[in-house]
Structure 1
């Protein structure tokens, strides 16, 4: 309930700011999917949630949940904590459960906010969860979110959604560091292609 209300308010606000959503038709209408955007700003999860009209369960750094009020709010909008720097088995299990339930998982594959420009490297988390679950990955480019307010009035504020990356090409392959690196590189390339359009 809170998620839908917050999304409606944010959608109105961001559209006034000039938000443009491109590639809306690429969003799978049902079934599990992993949304994988680049990460420039704290606004990115909000913008992506507005652009994609299915509830997104975002992985968020565990430190954000240390604040009781913020932690409760994040939980109510379906975010869940992940400990960075090592393999958080609890977070991975939760993510796989979401995929089994046919929900939408949000992961920023760079792992943290980065400066604008090309994505240089993505962590293996999104690739590993996709390979284990078979869920497609939806590459997303956030453009202009790194600027301070009022973003859309002065420069483009765009969420560009790419075609899903299917796991069919990876069926039968062992889930090891080599396969995860191959898929991570594909995610990187797809996001960069969206950024350069």
Structure 2
């Protein structure tokens, strides 16, 4: 899912995780190309390293994977905090680099976590600034967090 496993924590297993990441990336890329005729544009605007914010519209549950698949660097995601309460799902999301955000309020903890991701870890963070999926496909009003981070 644009998954970037946190391999630095896994020492001798890092090679295996990197391999699995590439396999998963290939299958996701093939899936999105074949079944959704997905085209990614503007990838040249994403730096190879250093802090970066990718802000995207959010119309489907596929979006984190669709946005992250072509990005070939370590990335993190904000995700709705309730998803982390589901057994297994929360652990998988954390493993894939997601961290919780309460979109109903100004979540200071998620904001500070995002700052650490950008400033200290120098990672890329993917944010869906609408704060949730748009069921109609139209862009919902944007929350100020992504702009504030930038």
What's the TM-score bracket when you normalise by the shorter of the two chains? Answer: 0.7 to 0.9
Correspondence 1:75 to 2:94: yes
Q: Distance between the aligned counterparts of 2:42 and 2:124, measured in 1? A: 17
CA distance in 1, matches of 2:67, 2:141: 20
| Matching of residue 39 in structure 1 with residue 53 in structure 2 | no
Unaligned runs of 5+ in 1: 131-197
TM-score by length of 2: 0.78
CA root-mean-square deviation: 1.7
Q: Which of residues 4, 18, 21 in structure 2 aligns to 1:4? A: 21
Asked if residue 66 in structure 1 is aligned to residue 94 in structure 2, the reply is no
Q: Please name the residue that 1:105 is paired with.
A: 125
The number of aligned residues is: 129
Question: Take 1:8 and 1:122, find their aligned partners in 2: how far apart are those partners?
Answer: 32
**Deviation (angstroms), 1:106:** 1.1
Shift of 1:61: 0.3
Query: Which stretches of structure 1, 4 residues or more, deviate above 3 A after TM superposition?
Result: none
| Structure-2 separation of matches of 1:4 and 1:120 | 32
- Gapped runs of 5+ residues in structure 2? 6-16
Q: Following the alignment from structure 1 to structure 2, what is the Cα–Cα distance between the partners of residues 40 and 67?
A: 22
